[in-house]
Structure 1
Amino acid sequence: MADIAEKLHVSTQPVREALKRLDTEGYVNWTLNVGAVVSGISIADLKEDIPILRELEGLATREATRHLTPAVLEQLERLLGTMRLYVANNRPAEYGVLNKEFHRTIHACAGNNHLLKILDDLWARRDRLRAVFLLSPTRAAESLREHEAIVAALKARDAEEAGKLVEEHRIKAAAELLKYLEPEGVVNLFL
């Protein structure tokens, strides 16, 4: 803790408080005589989060369909255009960043701040899992096709189809990620 405090030019108190908060949120574990260690993400955690994400993202997408503006649709199209370039130029890390922005743009249109906060928290918990785009040689291209179908449904104002496509997208992404879990059941992907 003292090393971190020194590097940040602060006392140990704010570092201790930050680590306690990270512990509360499940990002670190305290180990006797070692200190705080960054947590892995267990298969059990992932399996608990995925159905919640699937349902809540489907709900957010259905709600967003009712509130979409032409400006938001243009923003989604711009994101897709850049994502196409990233897929074509084999830039999976950059694709992963835009993937998060793509989904958050849709979530924000739902018009439900509580839902947005819950989804933001769930995405933050699994942010390291964007590494699936680095691990799987085909996932970014598959994800792009799924995103294009989602945007087509949003443009058609087909809330049920858009929600269903997002739910399927979440399941496909999770299935791909599960292929890369370590034998002991922990995802060790620290980007």
Structure 2
Amino acid sequence: MAEEYVVEEVREFFPNPDTECWRIIYRKPDGTTHYHFMPKVTLENLAAEYLIDPDDVDTLISVALHQCFVPNPLGPDMNQDVAAAAGMTAPAVINTGTIRRGDMVPLTLHNSPSTAEAREAHLLRCQNARVRVVPPKSGSDPLDIIRQAHNIHPRRMRAKAQRVDIERWTLLYGGLPIDTPDDQEAPRA
């Protein structure tokens, strides 16, 4: 059964001037605290990577808070991966450790034939994380600050989603079927 971590506080945190983060403090069952530092772009990145509806902020927050408590699906415990146990596997796209390209391994964002399948596997893992993150039983929800200030921008999200698709295509098939222009900054009004 998963341990329950209660969110006690959420504040802005700047480890350097260029990185805006959220500092989330949890109360663990034994009374000690656990700190989680999350870049503010995490929700937008998750929405882009897994094509999660950007208006579904609660799902994005839940994934962001739980994914750090999910074992690496390609790590030493991959035989215990809940997504693989549910039949969500695909060939490995690169050699790594004892895994060889083509070995059947748990589905990930990188070896999945589709974003929808990668999303399903990732959501299943997050729902079965070793920790359940919950708001306090009474009072206000400290996560409201993230809900109100998530700032997911559709154009940035779309560009990130395209980069993920290109990366996955390149890993799966070895290159793009057409030449792409060099990354250029979009014209500004």
What TM-score comes out, normalization by structure 1 length?
0.27
More helix by percentage:
1
More strand by percentage:
2
What TM-score comes out, normalization by structure 2 length?
0.27
Higher relative contact order structure (alpha carbons within 8 Å, sequence separation ≥ 6): 1
